[in-house]
Structure 1
Amino acid sequence: MGQFGGAGEKGIGFELDGHLGWARVLVSGDRAGLILLEYYFEGNEFRRLPADYKFAVSSHDGGDTLVFKWKGFTDEVYSVVHSDDPAANPDPSVWPAWPGLQGLSAESPLNRHAVGRPPGSRRFFALVAEPAPPVFYDDLESGPGDWVAIVNDPEGATNWELGTPAASTGPLTGADDSTNAWSTNLGNYGPESDISLRSPVIDLTGIEAAVLSFAAYRDADVEGDRAEISFLDGQGLSPLGRIFELEMGTIDSDFVRQEIEVVPEALGQRIIIEFRFISDSTPDAYSGLTVDNVMVSARPEN
């Protein structure tokens, strides 16, 4: 969604590519000239009303300095783009970004940025919102990094291993035919195992809502084995909120994307994600659980 900025007093309805919207226009008395505030909508991914952003362009010194203000959301990044001829180039998504105003994260309570007035008698500005990059993402192709594998049981028959799976059953690659994934042994897992895999520290400071997603291949004893996902404090490793049971009553034929809401107790701080696999005493010829493409993303606040 884009939003042209400036003050406005008169409302004008419009339609753009079948999407209804509205605009405000103001012809100012100072050197800023005509300022147009316009909203437009793209596709079917629209989530927020244009008014939610409160995007405005103002000047407190007769036009020498332009001040941009808007309300940001943690699941988006913002660029202020500009054009001196929107009639000839009506798509703000291809307008150039104003220097220093590209890929900006949300600030509280409002984003506020001041720039010198550009040359020329008029200039049109738009606020372009895009999905923020993930807070954390690891496709595991660069090696173990700061991941930590832990054996909790005395037998040690199984551990989390990073590489190409090669068990009797289950996957023979990582997700999307990649080379690496974390597996409960790269071969078959053992009985009476209790193992944990902990992620690097993930900084959720300033994040009000987030979702954990990962690719999982489940190939285990559907009656006796289980898996859990927990959120831990990034320093003391104490559990935060509830523990999630990963449904292991299914034997997958491919990697399946899993999504879990990050618990409220984990938001706004540095955390660690823990994957735990527990097998029963039955010696089964299965691969167990394989995990790949781990991602934490901010999501729209309610």
Structure 2
Amino acid sequence: MNRYGGIDGAFYYRWNAVCGESRTCGVDLNEILEGIVRDDEPELVFFYEEDFEDTDGDYTVSGYGARWEWGTPTVWPESAASGDKCWGTDLNGNYSNGADETLTSPVIQLTGVEAGSDLVIEWMQALYIESSSWDNAYVELSLNGGSWMQMWAHTGSTVQVPWELKSYTIESYNDEDIQLRFRITTDGSVTYSGLYIDDVTISESK
């Protein structure tokens, strides 16, 4: 998974070796690549990484009708984004009707972050949910225990979106504690697989 600006891609290099007819010419690919500077990709320094493989990350479940589970999905999306485990609103079925259910991270205390830096929060997400006229999904952020701020929300019609990278930037970070939460609210009918979360990271762009 590419962690540089949330863009996956490939790059290619082409070179020509010109040799005389009377001698053999060899090209050392390692030497060539060592001399190439990747100006298009910033260096990222990671301060928090959670892939949910060994533990549930100490994330907690709350709310009415909550079915959040940690493990391996047996229904859509049928796998974690990486490895075997992730969090999902129901690993073997659909989310509940009339629910207001939340998955909340522990308080994340970062050390070694330069004051005033921009921090990038990234997470892998899969979503299968009814139109936002009836069912809603949110990803939110709290700094130092303050009010919840929206980083992302489901809008529009019913969607089924496989695993994709989401990101949010905290500008001018100033040594705050960070907490994340993932939430869905639903009406009284029609449910789908819901919201799935994996590979949560917090990094500083250099």
Using the size of structure 1 for normalisation, the TM-score is: 0.49
Contact 1:232 1:272 in 2 (8 A): yes
Letter in 1 for 2:147: P
Q: CA deviation at 1:238?
A: 2.5
Equivalent residue for 1:229? 139
Provide the rounded CA distance (Å) in 1 between the counterparts of 2:154 and 2:90.
Answer: 20
**1:269 paired residue among 176, 184, 192:** 176
Q: SS at 2:46's partner residue?
A: coil
Letter in 2 for 1:215: M
Letter in 2 for 1:246: A
Q: SS at 1:162's partner residue?
A: strand
Equivalent residue for 1:159? 67
Contact 1:140 1:180 in 2 (8 A): yes
Question: Closer, same or farther in 2 for the Cα pair 1:267/1:291, shift >3 Å?
Answer: farther
Equivalent residue for 1:138? 50
Question: Closer, same or farther in 2 for the Cα pair 1:222/1:263, shift >3 Å?
Answer: farther
Equivalent residue for 2:7? none
Equivalent residue for 1:218? 127
Question: Closer, same or farther in 2 for the Cα pair 1:280/1:221, shift >3 Å?
Answer: same
Equivalent residue runs for 1:38-77 within 5 Å: 42-45=36-39
User: Structure 1: any 5+ residue segments left out of the alignment?
Assistant: 1-40, 48-74, 76-130
Q: CA deviation at 1:165?
A: 1.4
Letter in 2 for 1:199: S
Q: Deviations over 1:64-121 (max 9, x none)?
A: xxxxxxxxxxx9xxxxxxxxxxxxxxxxxxxxxxxxxxxxxxxxxxxxxxxxxxxxxx
Contact 2:125 2:198 in 1 (8 A): yes
Using the size of structure 2 for normalisation, the TM-score is: 0.70
Q: Deviations over 1:231-277 (max 9, x none)?
A: 2245xx3226x32332354311x20111111265x642221111111
**1:246 paired residue among 153, 156, 163:** 153
Q: Deviations over 1:9-60 (max 9, x none)?
A: xxxxxxxxxxxxxxxxxxxxxxxxxxxxxxxx8423268xxxxxxxxxxxxx
Q: SS at 2:160's partner residue?
A: coil
Provide the rounded CA distance (Å) in 2 between the counterparts of 1:163 and 1:231.
Answer: 24
Provide the rounded CA distance (Å) in 1 between the counterparts of 2:50 and 2:155.
Answer: 23
Equivalent residue for 1:258? 166
Equivalent residue for 1:299? 205
Provide the rounded CA distance (Å) in 2 between the counterparts of 1:225 and 1:210.
Answer: 30
Provide the rounded CA distance (Å) in 2 between the counterparts of 1:263 and 1:165.
Answer: 35
Provide the rounded CA distance (Å) in 2 between the counterparts of 1:257 and 1:46.
Answer: 19
Q: CA deviation at 1:159?
A: 2.5
Provide the rounded CA distance (Å) in 1 between the counterparts of 2:201 and 2:108.
Answer: 10
Equivalent residue for 2:84? 179
Q: SS at 2:190's partner residue?
A: coil
Of the two structures, which has the highest relative contact order with CA contacts closer than 8 Å and spacing of 6 or more? 2
Contact 2:138 2:182 in 1 (8 A): yes
Provide the rounded CA distance (Å) in 2 between the counterparts of 1:173 and 1:166.
Answer: 7
Provide the rounded CA distance (Å) in 1 between the counterparts of 2:139 and 2:171.
Answer: 11
Please identify the structure whose Cα radius of gyration is greater: 1
Q: SS at 2:57's partner residue?
A: coil
RMSD: 2.5
Provide the rounded CA distance (Å) in 2 between the counterparts of 1:179 and 1:283.
Answer: 28
Structure 1 or 2: more strand by fraction: 1
How many residues of Structure 1 are paired with residues of Structure 2 in the alignment?
166
Q: CA deviation at 1:166?
A: 2.4
Question: Closer, same or farther in 2 for the Cα pair 1:267/1:280, shift >3 Å?
Answer: farther
User: Structure 2: any 5+ residue segments left out of the alignment?
Assistant: 1-34
